[in-house]
Copies of this chain bind each other. A is one copy, B any other.
């Protein structure tokens, strides 16, 4: 085997044991109607994200809360049926909001905010959450790692400030690529750097 062969093999073996980490910065999901008001048109893709079909939009907006605002916030596409504003607890402090820790999509009884774009503003009644840390897993990887959708696992990260996250939500879908998602508070707490890996503890 050549060095390149060994490297490719090592990568495959690593990929069967470890899960790559990603840090999700604050971001907003909007509806088509909201995009029209905020930007004058639908979202346009700047670059694809790790999850198939998802993209970072060229459009950016401002989140306004009772105590402050966050400018130049990323918008992720495609548009959704309901707005969702995913921020860290640190961001919540700046805005004067206390986001509940929730899986994506669970926005009942969460605070609202104002979204401001270049063309207009939208008052969102609810949807401000801190995303519960989670692992996107393909059905193939889930079968091999012996985890199932909605399972809560411990997840050990091999980072500069190593730690074991508890209460990590597993989400299994054929539409996913296998990645663990942390917010920036969590990424900083573990000293995350791009390329870092973690492992589900069973």
A188 to B93 alpha-carbon distance, docked (Å): 10
- A166 contact from B89, B90, B133, B164, Cβ within 8 A: B164
Name the distance in Å between A98's Cβ and chain B's nearest Cβ. Answer: 11
Interface residues of A in 15-30 (CB under 8 A from B): none
Which of A63-71, A108-116, A117-125, A155-163 is the contact stretch? A155-163
For A162, give the chain B residue with the smallest CB separation: B166
Please determine whether B165 and A89 come into contact, CB atoms closer than 8 angstroms.
no
A76 to B91 alpha-carbon distance, docked (Å): 25
A90-B184, A185-B185 known; A160 vs B101 contact (CB < 8 Å)? yes
Please determine whether A89 and B167 come into contact, CB atoms closer than 8 angstroms.
no
A141 at interface, CB cutoff 8 A: no
A88-B188, A101-B191, A186-B189 known; A164 vs B161 contact (CB < 8 Å)? no
| Chain A interface residue number, banded | 20 to 34
Per-residue CB contact flags for chain A residues 128-171 toward chain B (1 = under 8 Å, else 0) read 00000100000000000000000000100000111111110000
**A189 partner residues in chain B, CB cutoff 8 A:** 185-186, 188-190
**A89 partner residues in chain B, CB cutoff 8 A:** 188, 191
**A164 partner residues in chain B, CB cutoff 8 A:** 154, 163-164, 166
Name the distance in Å between A194's Cβ and chain B's nearest Cβ. Answer: 14
A78 to B164 alpha-carbon distance, docked (Å): 36
Per-residue CB contact flags for chain A residues 69-109 toward chain B (1 = under 8 Å, else 0) read 00000000000000000001110000000000100000000
**A190 partner residues in chain B, CB cutoff 8 A:** 189
Given contacts A164-B164, A185-B189, A189-B190, 15 further A-B contacts (CB under 8 A): A88-B188, A89-B188, A90-B90, A90-B184, A90-B185, A133-B161, A161-B166, A161-B167, A163-B163, A184-B185, A185-B185, A185-B188, A186-B189, A188-B189, A189-B189
